[in-house]
Amino acid sequence: MSTDYQQARIALGARLRELRTEAGLTVRALAAECGWAPSKISKLENGKQTATPADLDAWAMGVQRPESAEELKGRLAGLESTYRSWRRQLAGGHRAVQDAIGAQHQRTRSFRGFTASVIPGIFQTPEYARSVLSRYAELHGVVRDIEAGVTSRLRREEGLYSPEKRYHVLLWESTLHVRICSPAVLADQLDRLMSINGLSTVEQRRQDPSRGPDQSARRQW
C-alpha cells in the first residue's frame, strides 16, 4: 500500500469523523444506527479499513446527512484510483518505484512526513526495508527485484548527511512496535532511529496514541 493511498484513506476517515461529531453522535451511537460493531467505526475513522460505497451510504444516513454520500463516494473513487496507479507502478518492479521516489528526494530540500505504522524509508535499515518490500510483494503478487528495490531505497539515505536538506517527521508511537519484521530486525531498526535522531538535519517527534490530538504528547526522542 502506498503512502499516498494511506494518506488518502486517513483523510477520508477524518471526514467521516467530522460528519459524526457534527451530528453529535458517539462511536457507539453511530454504530447502533448503522448496525455495526463500534470497532468498525473506529477503523474507518482512523484509516485502518477501506470503506465500501455501501458503508458510505450507511454512514451518511446514520449522521442524517444523506446528501453527503456522493461527496464521500467521490473521495473513495479518488482513493481507489491511487491504489490502482500504485499497483500499475509496482507491476514494473520495486526498483522502478524506488528510483522514482529517489529522484523526487534529490530535488527536495525540506521533507515533512507522518507515519502511523511503518518506519519511513529514508530511516530504514537494509533488513527492515527488505521486510517491508517483501510484504508489499506478497500483497500485490510481485516477487521480483526486492534486493534491487532495497538498494535503491537505501541510496536515499545519503540525503540525511546533506546540510542542504531537512527532515521533519512525526511518528505515531505504534510505529515503534509494529511487527512487520522479526524482533531482532526491529531492535536494530530502533537503534538506527536513535542514532539518526542525533543528526542536525533530522527532527523526529513521537505521538503517543493513548492521548487525543487535543492533548498533544509530541516530544523529541
3-state SS, residue 132: helix
| pTM score, whole prediction | 0.51
* DSSP per position, 25-72: --HHHHHHHHT--HHHHHHHHTTSSPPPHHHHHHHHHHTT-TTHHHHH
pLDDT score of 185: 95
Find out whether 153 and 187 touch, Cβ atoms under 8 Å: no
Q: What is the pLDDT of residues 201-213, one digit of tens each?
A: 887 666 665 555 4
DSSP state of 166: E
Give per-residue pLDDT as tens, 25-70: 999 999 999 999 999 999 999 988 989 999 999 999 999 999 999 9
For residue 1, what pLDDT is reported?
41
**Cα angle for residues 195, 197, 201 (degrees, 5° grid):** 115
Helices (H), 35-170: 38-45, 53-62, 68-91, 94-107, 126-140, 146-155
Joined together, the cell numbers standing for residue 188 give 536494530
For the chain, list the domains and their CATH numbers.
3-89 (1.10.260.40), 93-220 (no CATH)
Q: What is the CA radius of gyration of the chain?
A: 19
Q: 93 falls in which pLDDT band (50, 70, 90)? A: low
